[in-house]
Amino acid sequence: MALSRTRDRDAEFRAFFAAEADRLRRFALFLTGDDDIAKDLAQEAMVRVYRSWSSIQNQDPGPYARRTVVNLVRSQHRRSLLRRRYEKPRREGGDPIARIEEWDRLAQALKTLPSIRRAVVVLKYYEDMKEADIARVLDRPLGSVKSDLHRALAKLRPLLEDSDRKPGGVA
């Protein structure tokens, strides 16, 4: 009986993994700007999803996985910050995606945002989530999400607006 439950869990998780793994990695990539870190974080999130499968399988595990990635990104940022404070500087490695202009412009603009605001923007404009859903995923009051979004857009607008567009054409 236990073996059959394990098989069921593995089969369900495998289907979730097949459908979501690459999307989760891309989500993490927009949050971190680094493909290797994004891959590691997405895998760690998947491990945690599996660990909690019995408690989240009846909901949509997607939001749980995304919340986990956001929390990991924030932990990872603080961890690297602590490391940086105590480490001698080292050279950054080359990232092939970083050389692609379409990606680089957006990634550089996202990096100027605090991680929680970056997450709000990526969930809204990449994941197409409604603000109420974002609030649920991030376990954050709706008012804070609205304010995060407002501030984030104010910061992103001058960085991403097409230089030859008329200001009147921008919301």
Q: Does the protein bind another protein through residue 156 (CB under 8 A)?
A: yes
Q: Does the protein bind another protein through residue 169 (CB under 8 A)?
A: yes
Q: Does the protein bind another protein through residue 114 (CB under 8 A)?
A: yes
Q: Does the protein bind another protein through residue 113 (CB under 8 A)?
A: yes
Judged by beta carbon, residue 18 or residue 58, the one nearer another protein is: 18
| Paired tokens of 141 | 């009051």
Q: Is 33 left (phi over 0), alpha (psi -120 to 50) or beta?
A: left
Compute the C-alpha angle 115/25/62, nearest 5°.
85
- Cα–Cα distance for residue pair 22/24, rounded to 1 Å: 5
Backbone angles phi, psi at 125, to 5 degrees: -95, -20
DSSP assignment, residue 161?
S
Compute the least distance from the CB of residue 94 to another protein, in Å: 15
Q: Tell me the three state secondary structure of residue 151.
A: helix
DSSP assignment, residue 168?
G
Contact pattern for another protein over residues 14 through 53, marking x by CB under 8 A: x--x---xx-xxx--xx----x---x--xxx-xx--xx--
Positions in the binding site for another protein (CB under 8 A): 10, 13-14, 17, 21-22, 24-26, 29-30, 35, 39, 42-44, 46-47, 50-51, 67, 71, 74-75, 77-79, 81-83, 85-88, 97, 100, 102-103, 105-107, 111-117, 121-122, 125-126, 128, 139, 153, 155-157, 160-162, 169-171
